[in-house]
Amino acid sequence: MTPKSPTEDIRDARHRLAAKFDNDLDRIVADLRRQQRESGHEYITLPARRPEKASTTPEQQS
């Protein structure tokens, strides 16, 4: 029997988490935020980075 790859481990954990909350993303996020609050660690939220507008080239304008 070969050991699982890290990718398979992550997928398994994701499926278990989704099943625990009936695939309800709002409940999953609420639980993760609760865990953050209860951990006692300080978390930061970075501002969203907006992509720069793409420049158009003469070929794209026609």
Residue 33 lies in a domain: yes
Residue 13 lies in a domain: yes
pTM equals: 0.59
The span from the CA of 11 to the CA of 18, in Å, is 10
Residue 49 lies in a domain: no
pLDDT, tens digit, for every residue of 31-49? 999 999 999 998 888 999 9
Q: For residue 62, name the pLDDT band (cuts at 50, 70, 90).
A: low
Residue 5, φ and ψ in degrees, nearest 5: -80, 160
What percent of the chain stands above pLDDT 70? Answer: 87
Host domain of residue 20: 1-39
Residue 57 lies in a domain: no
Number of structural domains found in the chain: 1
Residue 52 lies in a domain: no
What value does the mean pLDDT of the chain take?
A: 88
Residue 55 lies in a domain: no
